[in-house]
Amino acid sequence: MKALILVGGFGTRLRPLTLTLPKPLIEFCNKPMILHQIEGLAGVTDIVLAVNYRPEVMVAILQKYEKLYNVTITFSVETEPLGTGRLTCPDLEIFREPDTLITLPNSDFPGPLALAREILQKDASPFFVLNSDVICDYPFEQMRDFHIQHGSEGTIVVTKVDEPSKYGVVVNKAASTKIECFVEKPQEFISNKINAGIYMFSPSVLDRIEVSRQMGVM
């Protein structure tokens, strides 16, 4: 199994802490935020970190954890922000809180995914993609099983919120886990599910990636 963690942001909302450290290295519950994710990914053999801000600090600190967690950590360094990639998948499913599951359509995903293509496509197994600031009880095993079961190219984790009008929401098709659309800050209730920043993709999505365009994950 493989994983890509998106750590390219500048963490401006956490300044002054992030003036010297990238946001994923800021401690949460006595350990760097990103270590919560690496520990949660137990069993994953290859982790790619898509880095833009202070890559030398990330490399110096995280290389020592490879042996500790028995994982190969590769740094995909962007010389300029390329974005994460944009999902225009014709086949995307949702997964969240074992009671709520959905699938991603076929995708168009540049940026860090394209730069990490060699590792993520080295075998036919699907791979996780995570935003670096997501800390929760990661449902990785259930998500993997769900992704394999539904057979679509991608799976997105969603979570429920009390005030959906403050967020972009995910709308799934009736009686289905397939995503119908994303709606930004709806004024009338259509869904209370939002993107939780955790995905799983089949390697086939990488065949449609272009590195030259700046785009972002929905």
Cα–Cα distance measured from residue 153 to residue 158, given in angstroms and rounded to the nearest whole number: 17
Instruction: Out of 33-42, 75-84, 105-114, pick the least confident.
Output: 105-114
Neighbours of 177 (CB within 10 A): 21
Residue 106's alpha-carbon distances to 87, 126, 130, 141, 198, in angstroms, are 8, 14, 19, 23, 17
Tell me what pLDDT residue 88 has: 43
* Helix or strand run (H / E) with residue 172: strand 168-172
Parse the chain into domains and list their residue ranges.
2-90+100-154+199-210
Tell me what pLDDT residue 103 has: 40
Judge whether 185 counts as a catalytic residue. Answer: yes
pLDDT interval class at 213 (50, 70, 90):
very low
Tell me what pLDDT residue 101 has: 39
Tell me what pLDDT residue 108 has: 39
2-90+100-154+199-210 is classed CATH 3.40.50.740: no
Looking at the predicted structure, is the pLDDT value of residue 184 above 70?
Answer: yes
Among residues 122, 166, 185, 193, the one annotated as catalytic is 185
